[in-house]
Structure 1
Amino acid sequence: MAIDVGEDVGRGTEDEETFVPLVGWDLRRAGRGAIGIVAFVVLWWLASLVQPAYVLPAPPAVATAFYAEAASGAITDALASSVLHWVPGAVVGTGLGILAGIVLGWSRLADDVSAPVVRTLRPVPPLALIGFAIAWFGINHVGAAFIIAVGAFWINFYATYGGVEGVSADLLDVARSLDVRTDRELVRSVVIPAASPEILTGVRTGIGRCWMLVVASEIFGVPGIGREILRASNNLQVDVVITYILVLSVMFLLVDTAFRAVQRRVLAWR
């Protein structure tokens, strides 16, 4: 009993010693980030003093526009509309990209057969597919989700493909020596866990790319943040443009922070 208690106390002490520096480091990073934001706003304000308001509005003008758009409900409506195609586009594109990356990264036959098609389609930007999106799905959320899914697919595909292809042969040999024989067992037990850092990095990168593609996917008339930015640009309402850019940035920051926490937990074994 005495040994068990002593071990428990020792472990508790180690946890406390490692927890305090982590908290201090997080606070330090948050403080540095706050300094960076303040410096950026100050530089923005100074630059706005030598530019016309229709070129670069000052921070107070943007704050006023933000309040007006929020009070009218325009920001809420635009954000809700964008989420309706961002979520399915990101989920479908990410899922298909990871699946294709695993299959082609593991199977030499599938990789050889698909390589010409992949190399032909990869250089095509998602914006070039807007015509197909309109013809196939119409001017609606499905068409916008298609554009977003294409962008998410390629990022996740190449990240997963590289991770699977780079799995150490030594790990596979060890697994086979432990009677892990079939391809399905090897992929599930060895390949996916070993490639998970690259896979999750691709997912995180794809999430950010999907928010960028939200604007691109809405330029043909689908309601959302992108259409509001386009409308304000046509009317030279630069303060409103910056307002919706900030909304987009905040949404990306929230999603990225949440996913980063998940990523740290999943990869805690490293």
Structure 2
Amino acid sequence: MTFPTPGEVWDSLVQIATTGYGDGRLDQHVLQSVKLVLLGFLAAIVIGVPLGLSMGYSRRAEAFFNPVFSLIRPIPPLAWIPLAIVWLGLGDAAKIMVIWMAAFVPAVINSYAGVRNIEPQLLEAADMLGIRRGAFVWEVLVPGSLPMIFTGLRLSLQAAWTTLVAGELVGALLGLGHVLTQGSLDIYPSMILVAMLTIAALGWVMTWCLGMLERRAMPWRATS
């Protein structure tokens, strides 16, 4: 079997964008995959970043959460797929859970490392000035950890897309992973390439948006 020509890839793109393929048009597949990635990614941010910050700053929190996190961390995200299906069925909830597990670990690790990389003198000065806990978190802890937090978010986003494709290989009715599965069953290499290029483009766009958010959150780095 030869590699598909640009003309064949274009024809497949026109087909999926107009008449559809794999039970849906391209826009429907894209919306489904982006929805799952965003939900899993946002859940990882909401839970993983505060957990990493608390573990990095508080020895008590680290002692409480780290044993459980150390058990979860080595488990490959794809290993959660059978358990997610048993617990949540073949719907979106199972896929979001698997994506969350993949994105959760980098968010925690890098947030933790961000706190540990803050200069001790800065923390001591904040303690001496008697800054209240809420102000300390938002004015010292979070700004000092932001570079590593955003590094973790980029890794989490990449993990979310990688895991999404694997999650959609089983029991999906829509999504770019479903297109890849159907294309392999139909021996349709040009359609497989269309799905791969679409995933690459979406990943690039979301990474670019994350970079824009990083520059807005840390304007001092953009001008330095």
TM-score by length of 1: 0.76
CA offsets, 1:4-23, max 9 Å, x none?
xxxxxxxxxxxxxxxxxxxx
Quote the Cα distance in structure 2 between the aligned partners of 1:245 and 1:155.
Answer: 24
Select between 56-65 and 246-255 the one with higher mean Cα deviation: 56-65
Structure 1 spans left out of the alignment, 5+ residues:
1-51
Quote the Cα distance in structure 2 between the aligned partners of 1:176 and 1:130.
Answer: 45
Select between 146-155 and 110-119 the one with higher mean Cα deviation: 110-119
SS, match of residue 220 in structure 2: coil
SS, match of residue 269 in structure 1: helix
Tell me the residue number matched to 1:86: 37
Tell me the residue number matched to 1:99: 50
Quote the Cα distance in structure 2 between the aligned partners of 1:66 and 1:133.
Answer: 32
Query: Is contact 1:172–1:186 with CA below 8 Å preserved after alignment?
Result: no
Q: 1:184 to 1:106 in 2, by over 3 A?
A: farther
1:220 aligns with 2:167: no
Structure 2 residue identity aligned to 1:113? F
Quote the Cα distance in structure 2 between the aligned partners of 1:101 and 1:199.
Answer: 9
Tell me the residue number matched to 1:69: 16
1:244 aligns with 2:191: no
Tell me the residue number matched to 1:164: 115
CA offsets, 1:205-224, max 9 Å, x none?
21222112110111221231
1:201 aligns with 2:168: no
CA offsets, 1:66-121, max 9 Å, x none?
11111124211211221232221111012111011011111111212332222211
1:111 aligns with 2:75: no
Structure 1 residue aligned with 2:100, among 141, 145, 149? Answer: 149
Point out the structure with max Rg over C-alpha.
1
Query: Is contact 1:105–1:161 with CA below 8 Å preserved after alignment?
Result: yes
Query: Is contact 1:159–1:202 with CA below 8 Å preserved after alignment?
Result: yes
Select between 96-105 and 204-213 the one with higher mean Cα deviation: 204-213
Identity %: 27
Aligned residues: 216
Shift of residue 183 of structure 1?
Answer: 4.5
Shift of residue 161 of structure 1?
Answer: 0.7
Tell me the residue number matched to 1:9: none
Tell me the residue number matched to 2:137: 187
Question: Which structure's relative contact order is higher, taking Cα pairs within 8 Å and 6+ residues apart?
Answer: 2
SS, match of residue 219 in structure 1: coil
Select between 192-201 and 70-79 the one with higher mean Cα deviation: 70-79
CA offsets, 1:122-158, max 9 Å, x none?
1111111111111111111111111111111001111
Tell me the residue number matched to 2:4: 57
In the TM superposition, structure 1's runs of 4+ consecutive aligned residues that sit over 3 Å from their partners are: 182-185
Quote the Cα distance in structure 2 between the aligned partners of 1:174 and 1:231.
Answer: 59
Tell me the residue number matched to 1:11: none
Q: How does 1:251-262 map to 2 (within 5 A)?
A: 251-262=202-213
TM-score by length of 2: 0.90
Query: Is contact 1:101–1:159 with CA below 8 Å preserved after alignment?
Result: yes
Tell me the residue number matched to 1:233: 184
Structure 2 spans left out of the alignment, 5+ residues:
none
